[in-house]
């Protein structure tokens, strides 16, 4: 049962928040951290996670913390649009493994969509290097 289970403090995103795992950041404040997905499904695939909370998913997120976090989700989605000028943007998240969730710390995906370009596979394929991610990250960072 992955929809409701104890929060694992050793999940990958908790390690990123602690500084125990490298990441290519685009935004950070006291509420949220946004960084590039290492298995990008599209150019500019960005993740945004809440800080100072042990929420595995959207359903676990304390309601009083949701508003500030969602403001950051919109802020970063707007920055992705401004930086990359996509034809569309998907903002999505999954709750529980059967729904497609693979990392159990709440996160939203921000996925720029370009006409005629198909999405890559979810959480699969070849891991992007920081050197590959940084040029796009720097454009998003500058637009936040």
Binding positions for ligand 5GP, rule: CB under 6 A: 12, 21, 23, 35-39, 47, 94, 100-103, 123
Nearer Cβ to ligand 5GP, position 84 or 104?
104
Identify whether 105 is a catalytic site residue. Answer: no
Residues 46, 37: contact at Cβ < 8 Å?
yes
CA 83 to chain centre: 16
CB of 76 to ligand 5GP, least distance (A): 14
CA 29 to chain centre: 15
Strands of 46-50's sheet in order across: 25-28, 32-36, 46-50, 108-113, 88-92
Nearer Cβ to ligand 5GP, position 24 or 83?
24
CB of 63 to ligand 5GP, least distance (A): 21
Nearer Cβ to ligand 5GP, position 74 or 102?
102
Handedness of CA 131, 56, 109, 119 (dihedral sign): positive
Active-site choice (23, 45, 105, 107): 107
Active site residues: 107
């Amino acid at each position: 049962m992955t929809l409701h289970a104890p929060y694992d403090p050793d999940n990958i995103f908790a390690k990123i928040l602690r500084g125990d795992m490298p990441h290519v950041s685009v935004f950070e404040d006291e509420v949220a951290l946004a960084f590039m997905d290492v298995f990008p499904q599209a150019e500019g695939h960005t993740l945004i996670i809440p800080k100072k909370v042990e929420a595995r998913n959207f359903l676990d997120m304390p309601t009083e913390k949701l508003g500030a976090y969602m403001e950051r989700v919109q802020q970063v989605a707007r920055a992705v649009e401004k930086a990359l000028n996509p034809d569309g943007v998907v903002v999505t998240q999954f709750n529980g493994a059967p729904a497609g969730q693979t990392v159990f710390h709440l996160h939203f995906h921000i996925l720029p969509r370009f006409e005629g370009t198909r999405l890559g596979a979810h959480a699969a394929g070849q891991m992007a290097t920081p050197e590959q991610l940084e040029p796009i990250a720097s454009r998003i960072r500058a637009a936040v």
